[in-house]
Chains A and B, each alone.
Chain A
Amino acid sequence: MEKETARSRIDRYLPYLLVLPTFAFVSLFTVWPTLSALYRSFFQQRLNIAKFRTPTFIGLGNYADIFSDPHFHRVLGNTLFYIIGTVPLSILLGFLFAMLVNRKVRNVGLARLAFFHTTILPMVSAATVWMFFFTPGYGLFNTALAALGYSGPQNWTGSPDLALLAVMIVAIWKNAGYYMIFYLAGLQNLPTPLYEAAGLDGANWWQKIWSLTLPLLRRTTLFITTIAFIDAFRTIDHIFVLTSGGPSEASTVLLYYLWQKRFEQLDIGLSSALTVILILVLLVFTITNFRVSEKGEEDV
């Protein structure tokens, strides 16, 4: 009897004990900074202006400033365009690459490596290489486009119409291979009997993809969409290298703007408010994404 109680006591506390390390890390590195940013976002504090160095409470003043600033509207527009332009396309490419290399043909390993190698490169190195690709005149990218008959403007990183597109191209190129790996793993776990049965039922290639592969890979897609979305907000290394957010803010996205406010302009209050906005956007998306996907699961 006594032994039983000890046992159940362990059972009761063991789970807490096991999550304790994770809990400690998350609290320290996620929850605490988030709360601290939220708190600081209600204060005006500028490190480089002596009279604003000590924080003064201004309520929602920072948020009001942000939302009435035309630069922020521009940045928000850029961010939206960047995400809509990169996330779906790189996921689609990742899926196509995975379909392509999920076959038993010769040298498929080489093809997998070719698609995947961009993931291993550090973003800064990749962007530096792309800087040379983008060089007007003799750059590889422009030469390749010219060979395909393109004769438009070549100043990819300097033109206000092309700069954002240029950093998006690099992001898609860099990420598609990464998403391919998840889809490839998913594809290889699909049950073959299902496909054989579908084949007997006379389903064609497209029907198999649409009615079997895609629904079966729903969880993979959910996972990839989430990380792709977060990554699109998070990765700005290539913007530093290629355009510095320019020309004239044409390629400034939310996190880059936040970095400028915090580290170039030393504006603690405003950058904290921007952090809170960023976190809220990510939170809303992630939750919606999970909800929508769970709902879909019930429908199946």
Chain B
Amino acid sequence: MTLRKLSALALLVLLLTGMLAACAPKEEAGPVTIQVYYPVAVDAPIAAIFDGYIEKFQEQNPNITVEAVYSGGYGDVKTAIQTTIDGGGEPPALAVMLATDLYDLVNAGYILALDDYIAADEDGAAYMQDFIASFMENSHYDGKTWSIPFQRSAVLMYYNADFFAEAGLEPPDSWAAWGEAGQALTQKDSDEVTRWGIEFPSGWPYWLFQPLAIGNGQNIIGEGDAEVYFDDPKVIEAVQFYIDLSEKYGAMAAGVQSIWGQAPTDLASGQTAMIVHSSGSLNTLLEQADFEVGVMPLPGKTAGTYASVPGGGNLYLFDNIDKVKQDAAWKFIRFLSEPERAADFSIQSGYFASCKGAYETEVMKAYMADNPQVAQARAALDVAGAEFSVQNLGEVRGIFHNYLQQAYNGELSAAEAMAAAQAEADAAMEAFK
């Protein structure tokens, strides 16, 4: 090897070392990248809205990069994260998952309690106080707080106010009035139904069913984390009322109705007078319908009582990742739940704003003045019970769905079905008693 070759090699080594040194991260204020897993509904521009927030957040925090990973629905996000963690990979810093996933996520050791962050925050207590109470129902376990409400909804009844006016009917204020209104508004051409009084989806039935039980004074879950009331006489009565809507009043098609996707379109196009659906459909309905859309919680059994139940997703912070990433993720959580942003998210997406402060902002007030239905939907939260969440939720919910649908389809009586559901559910939660 000649001297020239040697010196060239030395020079190359020197250059490479220099380049590597230049690339080495600086210790102070190191840039950090966090991932957020986010479920997006197929038809909503939510990804675009969320990207906008990320951009603004990165402007305010130049050393933090937020990567949003959008995928299917809530189930897909949860599955993706589970698979990552079980395969030994690193979870994202943050994810939006169902509020009801709480117990599974804590028990599996996936998520981090937020109490330290709340305590360290100078106005942490005020921040937590501002969330709408019924959205916090599924955030506490084991004396700790585990999630922050974000993309929240509730069960509502939408009705075609023009049909009600034509028939000289008032919006129903009790089960009996509801059934009778449905009956009166159902139209037939000889034997064929041309317009239903009510469409009440039941392909994935627990959520929309819950307001019936709550409206009869007994939610299907209790205070404890392994407590269900499927065979309570009031719950059985609520199951029977669903069946009565078709059997007794003829106001609805018989049996299980897998019509979640069609129901809002059916209301907008005059195929039905009332639907029970998510508050998330409000914007679509207001855009599509050429009549006055009425919005209310579901009537309860006794006159003058109403009921609803919240739903939707919360923000969860993950365990077993760098503290730097967790700190950045907490910052992003705080950024997302600022009242102005929550108000903007609500207006753009149709979900509720998660905090009371958002409803006090000028933009929100103006928006509600233009769309009185938004305030009516918001009022449903005042009569909402807790959403179905217990230990071993996947299995217990599966059991409840199975028997509830058997009752809806007339394979078992309401009482038989709920007794069987109770027994199986108690067995499935044995480990927690």
Interface contact A47-B108, CB-CB below 8 Å: yes
Stretch at the interface among A107-115, A209-217, A239-247: A239-247
Residue among B78, B256, B392, B393 with the most chain A CB within 10 A? Answer: B256
Complex formed: what's the CA distance from A56 to B179 in Å? 53
B256 CB contact (under 8 Å) in A135, A138, A246: A246
What is the interface residue range for chain A against chain B? Answer: 20 to 34
Asked if A11 is at the interface of the complex by the 8 Å CB criterion, the answer is no
A48: chain B residues within 8 A (beta carbon): 103-104, 107-108, 391-394
- Answer whether residue A83 sits at the interface, using C-beta atoms and an 8 A cutoff: no
Kindly identify, within residues 84 to 133 of chain B, every residue whose CB is under 8 Å from any CB belonging to chain A: 86, 103-104, 107-109
A53 touches B107 (CB 8 A): yes
* CB-CB under 8 A for A158 and B271, given A248-B405, A264-B398, A266-B108: no
How many angstroms from the CA of A49 to the CA of B107 in the assembled complex? 6
Contact with A along B251-283 (1 / 0, CB 8 A): 001111111011000000001000000000000
Asked whether any CB of chain A lies closer than 8 Å to the CB of B395, the reply is: yes
Contact indicator A137/B255 (Cβ below 8 Å): no
Please state if A138 and B398 are interface contacts (CB–CB under 8 Å). no
Decide yes or no: A160 and B411 within 8 Å by CB, A155-B253, A248-B405 being known contacts.
Answer: yes
- Does A119 count as interface, using CB distance less than 8 angstroms? no
Q: Contact check: which of A155, A244, A265 meets B394 at CB < 8 Å?
A: A265
Q: Is the CB of A263 within 8 A of B79?
A: yes
**A136, A157, A249 pick with most chain B CB within 10 angstroms:** A136
* CB within 8 Å for A265 and B271 given contacts A51-B431, A155-B256, A158-B256: no
The verdict on A260 contacting chain B, using a C-beta distance below 8 Å, is yes
Residue B37 interfacial (CB < 8 Å): no
A132 CA to B75 CA, complexed, in Å: 23
> In the complex, what distance in Å separates the CA atom of A113 from the CA atom of B424?
50
A157 touches B255 (CB 8 A): no
Q: B230 at interface (Cβ–Cβ under 8 A)?
A: no
Q: Which residues of A contact B254 (CB under 8 A)?
A: 155
Q: Is A52 an interface residue (CB 8 A)?
A: yes
> How many whole Å from B243's CB to the nearest CB in chain A?
14
Tell me the bound Cα distance from A51 to B204 in angstroms: 30
Where the two chains meet, the residues of B that have a C-beta atom closer than 8 Å to any C-beta of A are 75, 78-79, 82, 86, 103-104, 107-109, 193, 202-204, 253-259, 261-262, 271, 391-395, 397-398, 401-403, 405-406, 408-409, 411, 431-432
Which 8 residue pairs spanning A and B have beta carbons closest together? A264-B394, A158-B256, A247-B405, A157-B258, A265-B394, A247-B256, A48-B104, A248-B405
